[in-house]
Chain A
Amino acid sequence: METVLTTHFADDGYRRIDTYRRFGGYDALRKALSMPPEGIIDEVKKANLRGRGGAGFPAGVKWGFLPKDLSRPRVLVVNADEGEPGTFKDRLIMDRGPHLLVEGIAIAAFALRVHLSYVYVRGEFVREARILDDAVAEAYAAGFLGKNILGSGFDLDVTVHRGAGAYICGEETSLINSLEGKRGWPRLKPPFPAAVGAFGLPTIVNNVETLADVPWIITHGGEKFAAMGVEKNGGTRLIGVSGAVNRPGVYELPAGTNLKEIIYTHAGGIKDGKALKAVIPGGSSTPVLRPDEIDVSYDIESMAKIGTMAGSGGVIVIPEGTCMVRALSVLMNFYAHESCGQCTPCREGTGWLKRIVGRIEEGKGRQGDVELVLDVCDNMMGRTICPLADAAVMPAQSFIWKFREEFDRHIGEQKCPYGNRF
């Protein structure tokens, strides 16, 4: 099967520019610099490249939101703040193919007439930030970044910027505030970043994988990329499978690969020969699926049709024998910890969800607690500046809707039937 990103990832040398170039690296940039910027954007639109950070917005359309007026400088920000539990694919790109990202940044920046770019890497990824720093330095030295790139007259500065531990900064306006040296509080929209973003300038924020796909699209053409996937979902996706599978890891597969096949064929099936109990299909925020629901095409529209999301491509596999109340409790702790505290429904709501689900798990649940959780959810969903509240609500609601009997049993028996353990 043809791959876009991981083709040479087994080669340790691939993170160095010499090897990268030996495999044709930076030829796409050379080609792009000879194209009209609009032509590059058209190719990306034709590719049906959907944002890989979680929301799945068409990348070419997003690029089109920048104002036509070129009087103000623009900024391209790369979202490398990979933090959605279950997601670990951008780390792989930064580790094994950092120049794919650097080249993608250079091409996108040329297309968008951007001369200033930042890669916002989550703070914990010290090693990956260092690898990227080295790649950026190599690209400067080879004339692919900096002044007058390859004699084209195009200038671009790229800086790797580390965050400092805050899930919320994966949200693009929070990320922008954080880049500016502030608390990572999401901003009210409008204005959207494309109009007023980093440092008050028109800004595009793209995910690592999204930009790393761009060199291949320029080399091979948008149509070929689109044809690899399914309708409206072009190319391949890096799918991270974690939890109870025999071969956890990142798999590059065509968009629209069957989810059951991802788990049973590629990731080797359930660990220790157990049965499957549940799948969180696209990062911890996405509604959970039962085993009878996973025979589905892993693309944005098909997943939406069954009430969930492909999200950030993080498939979390939960085996039989797992307490779903405990699993939800782990997630509710996370969202309560990561709520930035700006909006009351989220700050208070995530705290209540953590406490109520926590007491049910501890065997101290009261009659009516399940309804109370759902009621709190109703008062959070869609009522906040950013989607963190929704991200907590979606697992809470779906765990209850699909595994209600476990919650009732905890409350009825006043104990965790699984002995408060995984």
Chain B
Amino acid sequence: MSVAFSETGRAEFERLLTRYPDRKAAILPALHLAQKEFGYVSDEAIVYLAGLVGASPAEIEGVASFYTMYDRKPVGKYHVQICRNISCSLLGAEHLIEHVSRKLGVRPGETTPDGKFTLEKVECLGSCGTAPVMQVNDEYHENLTVESIDRILDKLP
């Protein structure tokens, strides 16, 4: 099944092209845009972007697979990413990850059967002064405790 940007997505892509001396520099932002519009970076999205920027699908795939933020598989409605690096670990991140894993009934890397949550352990999110930290979709949640993490996740519609 082929995919295409919405009208606003297309306009945003065209705007991107005006900002760089080389069309291919739009690949990273266009992949972000594709993920936003299509939910994840599907094989069809790769082929579509290749056509738009004038690269081969292999080239786009090579880029998409290099970076951790591009989801090549569908993820849950809420992508719960908990930092496991040193500053967060020192303040209990391992315990939080175990807690959320039990709470959601999935292991890191898995999605709940209802498709609502994907849990992931991630590397440093650059928010060490307010550790432990997690990112849910685009949003950071800082100074986490078991109680606050429960509150945050329970509130998500």
Contacts and interface: CB of A to CB of B under 8 A. Distances in A.
A173 to B, nearest CB: 15
A248 B28 CA distance: 34
Interface residues of A, number: 58
B24 A180 contact: yes
Interface of B: 19-22, 24-29, 31-32, 53, 55, 62-63, 66-70, 84-87, 89-92, 94, 123-131, 135, 138-140
Contacts of B90: 242-244, 316-319, 322, 327, 422
In this complex, the member of B29, B66, B87 whose beta carbon has the largest number of chain A beta carbons within 10 angstroms is B87
B87 A85 contact: yes
Nearest to B23: A181
A347 interface: no
B9 to A, nearest CB: 16
Contacts of B130: 248
Nearest to B84: A330
Given A164-B28, A165-B68, 8 more contacts: A85-B128, A124-B126, A124-B135, A164-B31, A242-B129, A250-B129, A330-B86, A422-B94
Contacts of B87: 85-86, 242-243, 316
A91 B128 CA distance: 11
Given A85-B87, A330-B85, A183 B63 contact: yes
A241 B131 CA distance: 11
Nearest to A247: B129
B22 A181 contact: yes
Interface stretch (A58-66, A155-163, A293-301): A155-163
A164 B62 CA distance: 13
B24 A166 contact: no
Given A85-B86, A126-B138, A161 B127 contact: no
Interface of A: 82-88, 91, 116, 122-127, 157, 159, 161-167, 178-184, 199, 240-244, 248-250, 280, 284, 314, 316-319, 322, 327, 330-331, 333-334, 337-338, 340, 421-422
Contacts of B124: 83-86, 167, 284, 334
B91 A88 contact: no
B46 to A, nearest CB: 14
Contact of A331 (B26, B31, B86, B91): B86
Nearest to A158: B19
Contacts of B55: 181
A316 B138 contact: no
A248 B127 CA distance: 11
Contacts of B89: 327, 330, 422
B129 A124 contact: no
Nearest to A422: B89
B29 A162 contact: yes
A87 B140 CA distance: 16
A184 B63 CA distance: 8
Contacts of B140: 127
A125 B94 contact: no
B85 A334 contact: yes
A128 to B, nearest CB: 9
A88 B143 CA distance: 14
Contacts of A126: 138-139
A411 B142 CA distance: 36
B128 A242 contact: yes
Contacts of A317: 90
A249 B94 contact: no
A182 to B, nearest CB: 6
A125 B124 CA distance: 12
